[in-house]
Amino acid sequence: MAGFVGCDETIERLYFYLDGELTEVRRQEIALHLDLCGPCVGAYGFESELRKVIANRCRDRVPDALVARVADALREEHGRQGG
């Protein structure tokens, strides 16, 4: 069964969610969290857009360094909104 996951976990799993690399249960957990948590929906939208841009530009895996930087930025943004 899907359970409620925290913001940190959601953001960490966002990449896998977008890549379709999660199991059905994991995806449900993320979807449930996105339903209930406004700031994470914003992070999801941002990440989604970023993926599109990157996919259009190089059709390759996102460099780890970029992923790490985006994750840091999202966490910072998220913290500021009090999530």
Q: Which residues bind Zn ion (CB under 5 A)?
A: 7, 37, 40
Query: How far is the C-alpha of 69 from the C-alpha of 25, rounded, in Å?
Result: 28
Closest distance of CB 83 from Zn ion, Å: 5
Question: Are residues 36 and 63 in contact, defined by beta-carbon separation less than 8 angstroms?
Answer: no
Could you give the C-alpha distances from 45 to 1, 40, 51, 52, in angstroms and in order?
25, 8, 10, 11
Cβ 10 to Zn ion shortest distance, Å:
5
Nearer to Zn ion, 16 or 56 (CB): 16
Q: Which is nearer to Zn ion, 38 or 63 (CB)?
A: 38
* Residue 48 beta carbon to Zn ion: minimum distance, rounded to whole angstroms: 15
